[in-house]
């Protein structure tokens, strides 16, 4: 339970670069276009996989992580 709370706080504080955001949204949009279920309730009228992926990204619902290398 505590580790889940720490993970959620870590995810909220994580800032993605525009390149990481594009990669995450693009990967999720591809999954959705191939038939993967959406992870949240999507408003009526939204049918584009990219728009759905952006909604999921803005709600922090996408279970994709980014590994950064220390340099």
- pLDDT tens sequence across 26-67: 999 999 999 999 999 999 999 999 999 999 999 999 988 888
Q: Can you give the pLDDT at residue 70?
A: 78
Q: From the CB of residue 28, how many other CB atoms can be counted at a distance below 10 Å?
A: 24
1-32 residue pLDDT tens: 555 555 555 555 568 999 999 999 999 999 99
What does the domain layout of the chain look like in residue ranges? Answer: 16-71
| Residue 52 CB partners (closer than 8 Å, separation 6+) | 29, 32, 38, 42, 46
Domain over 16-71 is classified CATH 3.40.1280.10: no
C-alpha–C-alpha distance, residues 52 and 41, integer Å: 10
User: pTM, whole model, 2 decimals?
Assistant: 0.75
């Amino acid at each position: 339970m505590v580790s889940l709370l720490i993970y959620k706080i870590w995810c909220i504080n994580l800032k993605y670069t525009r390149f990481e955001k594009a990669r995450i949204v693009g990967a999720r949009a591809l999954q959705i276009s191939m038939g993967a279920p959406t992870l949240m309730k999507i408003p009526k009228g939204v049918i584009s996989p990219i728009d759905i992926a952006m909604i999921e990204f803005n709600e922090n619902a996408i279970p994709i992580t980014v590994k950064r290398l220390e340099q």
